[in-house]
Structure 1
Amino acid sequence: MTRVFARRATLRRSVRLLSDFRYEQTDPDIFYGALARDSLELVEDLYAGATGEPLSGRIVLDVGGGPGYFADAFHGAGARYVPVEPDPTEMHAAGITVGDAIRGSGMALPVRSDSVDICFSSNVAEHVPEPWTMAEEMLRVTKPGGLMILSYTLWWGPFGGHETGPWHFLGGEYAARRYARKQGREPKNRFGVSLFDVGAADGLRWARSTSSGELLAAFPRYHPRWAWWMVRLPWLRELLVSNLVLVMRK
């Protein structure tokens, strides 16, 4: 069911995204604009591959949707896009208004069970203390036959420490203290508070053991298709996969 998206997963795409990622802190409009387009293509292709249906008319719940950078992309595809964000500061950070936005925690979604066609989360699971509680909640609110797509950054990958990397390899607390000392301010992503050590093995273990859904696919989000084999190798995947996508069917 990943065949449609796999055609997009080229080395050229990987290089383009890596180039855009450098703007995360300095120009978030560039960073999140690129990520929004890529997220739409990811969700659209996976949904089409699993169901044979287009995204138009479907309800997409984005857990940790932040200020709503993804809204225009999903609305443009005809989907009803509903972001959920616990932090009101994040919701209003970019001055974007999303009519269906919900304030709430991913670990206790204020959404009724079996109510959305697709539940999606991009680069959020590493920021919550109980990511698999959040994943179960995502499955709970997904309609039977719908998709849950969870994409998250691996701790031991090159971007695991976010702005404190690559020093997170020496420990999250050390990396946070070093950042504060060098920059004169606390990092946005503070280890143990808003950034946690979560790996590929953790997600795969949960996905294969949960009774709430079926694992359809697991692959590196930003890698070209010919590098997806890395997910199959313990230890190596923790270092090289960088961002793991888990695709579950309710």
Structure 2
Amino acid sequence: MRTLLVTSPAARRFARRATFRRSLSLLSDFKYEQARPDLFYGAIARDTATMLDDLHQQVAGHSIQGTTILDVGGGPGYFADVFHDRGAQYLSVEPDPSEMHAAGISFSGSVRGSGMALPIRTSSVDICYSSNVAEHVPTPWAMADEMLRVTKPGGLMVLSYTLWWGPFGGHETGQWHFLGGEYAARRYARKNGKEPKNRFGTSLFPITASAGLRWARQATAPGANAELVAAFPRYNPWWSWWATSIPILRELMVSNLVIVVRKK
């Protein structure tokens, strides 16, 4: 499969922002994910909005202003204000009611529902994206199919997810997931006196880059109603994006893969 990297017109604009300094800044925010989620998700929200704006500028020829954006797995609404400030209509679907109210954010554009059966009309949003959610569902490619279904012809479906064999695949259990997800979860529970938020086999699953690229190949095969626009590492500096093209190596080096598909 031909993986589009910095040479892709859609990826090239965002690549200019994918500097080593940006990577360091985002990595430094990861430590606040549970202690200061507002700080962590605020930084991720701003970076996500910039990424989607760049991709949409290249593919559609204009910014995300005036577009309807659906966030699959939007949580409590940390991303809402960032997209509203850019003039986009932001909507989200979240399956967990406790997550929807976790931050005390007042946001009326969220609906409770499963990403694997989106309660959204077919071909109704300009951009459907999901950030760091696919690794938390048992059938992520069913979710990807649903995301593509609700996207309008000419619109973008953007799936960004954490790779299991990357350094953050174990989430709060650290790099112990390399010895097995169940082992990492039990170790975390012994050390901290509580279960990890992301429990292996229940809310955390071993997802790979190869599986995502395989889904993209099938979804954009000749005769399909979609085309692959780009696939690149979300948090890596642009000069390391070549790793996406190398089997096995990409599972360790990419950390988070972004798959961009345009619906025909």
TM-score bracket, shorter-length normalisation: over 0.9
Q: Conserved in 2, the CA contact under 8 Å of 1:139 and 1:212?
A: no
Answering whether residue 116 of structure 2 is matched by residue 107 of structure 1, we say yes
Distance 2:61 2:236 in 1: 25
The superposition leaves residues 52-107 of structure 1 with CA deviations (integer Å, 9 ceiling, x where unpaired) of 11111100000000000000100000000001100010000000121211110000
TM-score (ref. length: structure 1) = 0.99
Correspondent of 1:53 among 62, 82, 94: 62
Specify which of 198, 212, 215 is matched with residue 206 of structure 1.
215
The answer for the alignment partner of 2:88 in structure 1 is 79
Equivalent of 2:251 in 231, 238, 243: 238
How many residues get paired?
A: 250
Alpha carbon RMSD of aligned pairs, Å?
0.7
Secondary structure, counterpart of 2:211 in structure 1: helix
Secondary structure at the aligned position of 2:196 is classed as coil
Structure 2: how far apart are the matches of 1:23 and 1:100? 26
The structure 2 residue matched to 1:136, chosen from 139, 145, 150, is: 145
State percent identity of aligned pairs: 70
Which residue number corresponds to residue 162 of structure 1?
A: 171
Match of 2:197 among 188, 191, 194: 188
**Aligned match of 2:262:** 249
Do the aligned partners of 1:136 and 1:212 also contact (CA within 8 Å) in 2? no
* Cα separation, 1, equivalents of 2:205 and 2:30: 20
Q: Distance in 2 between matches of 1:198 and 1:3?
A: 26
Highest RCO, 1 vs 2 (Cα 8 Å, sep ≥ 6): 2
Structural mapping, 1:5-154, within 5 Å: 5-154=14-163
* 8 Å CA contact retained: 1:126, 1:152: yes
- For 1:80 and 1:141, locate their aligned partners in 2 and report how far apart those are by CA, in whole Å: 15
Stretches of 4+ moved more than 3 A in 1? none
SS in 1 for 2:32: coil
**Normalization by structure 2: what TM-score?**
0.94
The answer to whether the aligner puts 1:176 opposite 2:185 as a matched pair is yes
Instruction: Name structure 1 gaps, 5 residues minimum.
Output: none
Question: Structure 2: which 5+ runs fail to align?
Answer: 1-9
CA offset digits 1:115-139 (Å, max 9, x no partner): 0000010000000000000000000
